[in-house]
Structure 1
Amino acid sequence: MADLPGIKSAAPRLPVSDLSRSLEFYSTRLGFRTLDIWPETAPAEALISKNDAHLRLYSQEAHGSDPRGEATVTLRVDNA
């Protein structure tokens, strides 16, 4: 991401059928760490990271949407 001025990172948002199971897989099998989960009372989305890679996982059930063809990318910038 260093080639793009002002953009610090990007975080693709991916739908998952089971957030807890997905977090377990990404952490134990792939070495990601959980940075944030929200809302605290009924987790529906999580931000995970490994090295400079960030992913946002969200529960399809909690968001009630059909994810086919859906994509969200979050860009972190330092000058907005």
Structure 2
Amino acid sequence: VQKMDKPQGNALKYATYFSEMIAEGVLCENHDFVPAFSELITLGFVLKFNNEDIDFLMESKNLQIFCEDEKLLSSAFPSD
């Protein structure tokens, strides 16, 4: 995992461009979902990907992470 450098200028602008690139790459075959996914990533970036905030955000959008995905994410990104 590569650590991102902290944006030097407008953090929201950086987060927006960052999230658009991620969303387009992940959802390359589902372009209809790119704007909504990009918006979620942008908000997560602004919230500094705080676990409690992200959990609430996902709950408020009626989203969930499947158990097998949670295991994969936990092994790839262990918490401190």
Q: Establish whether TM, by shorter chain, passes 0.5.
A: no
Higher helix share: 2
Higher strand share: 1
Q: TM-score, normalised by structure 2?
A: 0.32
State the structure with bigger RCO (CA 8 A, min sep 6), 1 or 2: 1
